[in-house]
Structures are given as C-alpha cells and as structure tokens.
Amino acid sequence: MRKAPFIGILAFMVVLFTMPIGHMVMILIESIFGHHYQYPAATLLGLIGALFLLIGAKSERESSGTWLGFFAGIFIWTGWVEFSFVYFASHLDIAPLLENGEVATKPEYLMMPSSIGIFLATSLYFFFNKDTRCHFFRWFHRHLKLKVGKPSSVRNRTISSITAMETIYITWFFYIVLLLVYDESLFGQYPFATYSTFFISLVWSLYLFIRLIKFKKMAPAVRYAIPTVIIFWNAVEILGRWNFFEEIWIQPQDFVTEMILIVIAFISVTVISILMPTKIDDDHHPKRV
C-alpha cells in the first residue's frame, strides 16, 4: 500500500468519493434547514473551510497542508460559492430549465456561466504566477517561451491555500464548461460538442490517471488526483444527463443505503490515506510525473 500504484489509486478514490458526497451535502442542507436557514448553514460550512485554510497555512507539513487545503476548498466551494448562486437565483426568481417536464438544470446553475469573466480575469494571476507547478500552465510557458520568473523554494509555498484554490478553480472551470455545452442557445444546439466533451474528458482523465499511479507520496498524489477526478467526473455528469443511470447523489433521501455505503467507503480510504507514512526514501521519489 505504500508503493505505486496504490498511492495514486487511493488518492483517486478519496477525491472521487467527495464528488457524490458534495452533491448529497448540498441537497441535505437545502432539505434539512429549509429555505430560510440553509444560507446560515452554508455560511457556517464555508467558515469551517476558511478555518481549515487558516490551520493549514500555519502548518509546515506538506501532508497536513494538502489535506486541510483539499477539504477547505470543498467546504468553501459548497458553502459559499454554490449557495451564493442558489440565493441570488431564488432572489431574482429565475426559473429552472425543464426538459420533458423535468428539471434539467437548476436555476443556480443557469446563473453560474455568467461568472466566466471573473474566472478568466482572476485565473490570469495563477497563469503568470512564477510559483505555479501546474503542468497545464507550465506547458504553455514552455511552448510560448514565457519567462514568468524563477519559482520560490518548495518550502516557502503555502500548500493548503494552493490545494484549496486548485480545488475551487478546477471545479469552477468545469462547471462552466458543462453548462455552456448544455446551453441550447450556445453549444447545446450542437450534439457534437457534448460528445466531444465526453470523450475528451475520458481520454484526458485516463492519461492523468496513468501518470497519477506513478506517484509514491500521498500529498502530491492527492493534489494531482483533484484535476484527474474532476475531469473524469465530467463524463459521469454527461452520462447522468443522458439518463444512462440514476444519479443517486442528487436524491439521497431515496437512496439512503447506497449513500451510506459511499460515505463509509470515503471515510475508510481517507483514513488509510491520511495514516499513510509521509517519509519515503529519496530514491523512491518520482523524477517527474
């Protein structure tokens, strides 16, 4: 379990289970707290994420910084970002998108593509950041011959904030991609766009997974698993849109046993991953992944 490919597989499973659980938590907050109290509950959830981020910023350990940053990103995204769209969609009385009499896209997600401008503007900061370790950004740096400066020492990086922002921005980006692909007035009128997104997501996530299972340290594996899983989840979301299966995570009250099993599986793999030894001989470090 301490060697490749198990490290990468464990990291993948941890992040993968957070996807349906995140959907379930949002549905439960709405159903348990109701219209008036769901926003204070969501605000508290985001504050817990911010607390995790603060604790992680004070930690000098890569492993604890990674885990705290990962959960901080999930809590902040769900509590503050998603519920802010829920609130203003309700406030502006935006109707959901219906297909065959059923809700295909909720009002809050109809609003989310409007944030593409602020996403692109703020992502420029990360693109031109000399300390970025993002392989996607660095590929453009190399091929466009961009010199953004000499990166700082790894020890000077705040791993928790990097992991949290990675989680939030990648989730945000692919939400926008899927919503634009679904939009019948934009790319949704071209079925090829949806099929292309589906197959590109599958192939891209498979490529990233092959690289992921070469990792021999849990902390960097978790950070690499975040984009791997989110890109893979695009294909899952599209299959659900095509009614290939029942999306049990958006109806947790009807699939209690299944969701309990998912939560138990998530807790199990997370505990195993967190308890994984962090001190590995230098000879076992991957040269480049």
Average pLDDT over residues 121-133: 81
Selected residue with higher pLDDT from 133 and 43 = 43
pLDDT of residue 71: 93
Burial label for 87, CB within 10 Å (0-12, 13-18, 19+), is middle
Dihedral sign computed on CA atoms, order 264, 266, 272, 274 = negative
CA–CA dist 95, 103 (Å, integer): 10
Give the type of residue at 251. Answer: Q
Helix axes 6-58, 256-274, angle to 10 degrees: 80
Stretch among 49-53, 130-134, 180-184, 189-193 having the lowest mean pLDDT: 130-134
As a whole number, the mean pLDDT across the chain is 85
pLDDT of residue 158: 80
CA–CA dist 8, 212 (Å, integer): 5
CA–CA dist 46, 158 (Å, integer): 20
41 pLDDT band, cuts 50/70/90, is very high
Dihedral over alpha carbons 143, 147, 153, 157 (to 10 degrees): -80
pLDDT digits (tens, 9 = 90+) for 57-92: 887 788 888 999 999 999 999 999 999 999 999 888
Q: Residue ranges per domain, the chain?
A: 6-131+157-277
